[in-house]
Amino acid sequence: MPRVHVSVLGAGAWGTALAALASAQADTVLWARAPEVADAIARHRRNPRHLSDITLPQALRATADFGEAMGHVLDAPTASLIVLGVPMAGLADICARLAQDLPTRRAGPLHLLWTCKGIDPDTLQLPHQIIAAHLPRRPWLHAGVLSGPSFAREVAHGLPVALTLAAGQPDTGAVGQAVYHGTQARIYTTRDIVGVEVGGALKNVMAIACGISDGLRLGTNARAALITRGLAEIQRLGIALGGRADTFSGLAGLGDLVLTATGELSRNRQVGIAIGEGRCLEDILAGGMTAEGVRCARAALALGRRQVIDLPITEAVCHVLFDGLAPREAVAALLSRDPRPE
């Protein structure tokens, strides 16, 4: 396949890491909302706001001009890929901005990948539903999600990673593999967008639960139980929403859950640890620590109730985060549930 043109929209930690990774095999531009960030990357090969201690590749270009970033892919003579490197909270806005630049007609496909993980707290929509609501329908716009066990810092440092790319059209998987597969990354493809998205969203909630357990010093047995039963909880909701069972035993399910529930770089786990050690959520968030699982927990519980799916760990996390339930009482409530077959 000829060299792909890639525009990564969003210069947060994950957007920066994915842009750096893509630049090894593709002609890559990183769009930063702030001009000073784009200028710092161009001049000093550093993102001053995210991963600021990591030197970015010389091949990576940066711009604060949205039109320039879009022109890079829309006017490219070869295959083109847009990567949305924004969190859930910014997905609708970036899609609305992107919609203004998309043409009504195009000769060949334009590929789009999103990387955010979560459930919208107001609409209970998954990312693909938000994108469908905010982007015009174009037969040549081929979209998918890139997910799996990955810390941005490790990817930016050049350490190995394996990810799942879920898309409706096989050519999107092929383009994603041409960009990312074979340097430090392995990219596996699937068509199960819903399963990949549910795995990515709920693993953050389960990581908070595991962090609370670790903060309470409940031991590795308890952590293993939470990971295992948490995975069953994720799978129940995912299947109810149309996901495939086998997705949850793969990278986007078990792999992402294990990483986020045990990794030292996991913000969701760190929030849980702080809560288990007795700090209140308001103080934790006021200190600058953010975690998608906090934003996702209530939405996941509401979505489960809509589907009449039992999500006991998610419910316990919500009670601790938002209702003032003491973490030890939440653990006791989980342990006192009626026995049942696995």
**Which residues are known catalytic residues?**
203
Give CA separation, 170 vs 111, 129, 140, 175, in Å.
11, 20, 13, 9
Give the bridge partners for 84, in sequence order: 9, 114
3-state secondary structure of 69: helix
Compute how many other C-beta atoms are within 10 angstroms of the C-beta atom of residue 143.
23
3-state secondary structure of 222: helix
DSSP 8-state assignment for residue 64: S
Compute how many other C-beta atoms are within 10 angstroms of the C-beta atom of residue 219.
11
* Of 26, 51, 30, 27, the residue nearest 42 (C-alpha): 30
Compute how many other C-beta atoms are within 10 angstroms of the C-beta atom of residue 216.
19
- Token pair, residue 52, equals 């600021």
Give CA separation, 68 vs 74, 133, 187, in Å.
10, 25, 28
DSSP string covering 133-189: HHS---TTEEEEEEESS--HHHHHTT--EEEEEEESSHHHHHHHHHHHBTTTEEEEE
C-beta separation of 95 from 130 below 8 A: yes
3-state secondary structure of 190: strand
